[in-house]
Amino acid sequence: MLFEKLTERGFQVEIHSHARAILTVDFPRAVEELEEAVGGLSIPIEEIVGSGGGETQGTQRLRRALAVLGWTKLNFVVEKRINGRAREAISHEIDHVKTFHEGVVALEIEWNNKDPFFDRDLENFKRLHADGAISVGVIVTRGTSMQENLRALVQRFAQDKGLMSHDAVEAFGLTRTKRQKDAVDRRVQSTGVTFEEAWATAFVNDKFGAATTHWAKLEDRVRRGVGNPCPLVLIGLPSAIVSFEENLKLEDIVQEEEALVEEGIASEA
């Protein structure tokens, strides 16, 4: 079965528009490399909390693993010419592209962007496929189990670390705005839940809300035909890849971030 190693680990995988036949016949090596890079992904819970909702070091390491395998950023330029003169040029930058003997496979990772980024990715894939520039498009995003379990995962982190007050949160190295603190206080007062549960709920609602890039938003667009008829592979990251064993310190996360910036994998922003 295609992508069996991923599905065995709990990853969601959907394949559309004849991508299964294309990958099976022409790109078995691409499947192997995706299973190696994506299937090896693990994200310590500290990186999710410490990232503040931005791209985690885990997903940045996934980018690095793909780059090592030759999946690198490429800016496609499609040019219209009339009588030999360039009249119009449209560019499509894709984060991870690899050329195989049989064709080109393009991949985007949407860990936690605004959900309209899916429209951009799918439309780019559609146009590039129509122009013969790519054979298959792949999108990796947070899966259903990841999205549904994030609050419980962050709450477990808060309980494990004894984050039972705003002072404890800040002493751990997590700075929050007055608005974020007020949201936690209101939830505690109005519902009677513990500080840890209120803090986790506020954190996830603020950083990983329904209008961000996750499986349901991607699936909705594909069901409506966005990106069609480009052959597509959708991969959802499961909650099972979140680990609690590392006990990372925030300063360690910062050091890894700086190392990834130096390698050009992460942004300095």
Overall average pLDDT of the 107-122 stretch: 97
Q: How far is CA 177 from CA 96, 247, 254, in A?
A: 35, 25, 20
Cβ-based neighbours of 45, under 8 Å, separated by 6 or more: 153, 154, 156, 157, 242, 243, 244
Cβ-based neighbours of 162, under 8 Å, separated by 6 or more: 168
Task: Check residues 89 and 226 and name the one with the higher pLDDT.
Answer: 226
Question: Range of 245's domain?
Answer: 4-262
Q: What is the pLDDT of residues 192-205, one digit of tens each?
A: 999 999 999 999 99
Question: For 132, phi and psi rounded to 5 degrees?
Answer: 80, 15
**Average pLDDT over the chain, rounded to whole?**
91
- Establish if 268 belongs to a structural domain: no
pLDDT at 164 over 60: yes
Beta strand 85-100 pairing with 103-110? antiparallel
Tokens 């950023």 correspond to what residue?
73
Q: Which of 105, 98, 99 is nearest to 22 (CA)?
A: 105
- Establish if 269 belongs to a structural domain: no
Phi-psi region of 193 (alpha: psi -120 to 50; beta: other; left: phi over 0): beta
Cα angle for residues 79, 73, 239 (degrees, 5° grid): 130
pLDDT at 155 over 60: yes
pTM of the entire predicted model: 0.90
Residue 129's pLDDT is what?
97
Cβ-based neighbours of 39, under 8 Å, separated by 6 or more: 5, 6, 9, 11
Tokens 């990853």 correspond to what residue?
11
pLDDT at 268 over 90: no
pLDDT at 116 over 90: yes
- Establish if 87 belongs to a structural domain: yes
Model confidence at 258, pLDDT cuts 50, 70, 90, reads low
Task: Check residues 104 and 81 and name the one with the higher pLDDT.
Answer: 104
pLDDT at 269 over 50: no
- For residue 195 the two structure tokens come to 């500080």
pLDDT at 25 over 70: yes
Model confidence at 259, pLDDT cuts 50, 70, 90, reads low
- Establish if 238 belongs to a structural domain: yes
Beta strand 232-237 pairing with 12-16? antiparallel
Residue 256's pLDDT is what?
60
- Establish if 204 belongs to a structural domain: yes
Model confidence at 229, pLDDT cuts 50, 70, 90, reads very high
Beta strand 136-142 pairing with 103-110? parallel
- Domain of 198, CATH number, reads 3.40.91.20
Overall average pLDDT of the 99-109 stretch: 97
- Establish if 267 belongs to a structural domain: no
Burial of 134 from C-beta contacts in 10 A (0-12 / 13-18 / 19+): buried
Domain count, the chain: 1
pLDDT at 91 over 90: no
pLDDT at 262 over 80: no
Residue 267's pLDDT is what?
47
Burial of 77 from C-beta contacts in 10 A (0-12 / 13-18 / 19+): exposed
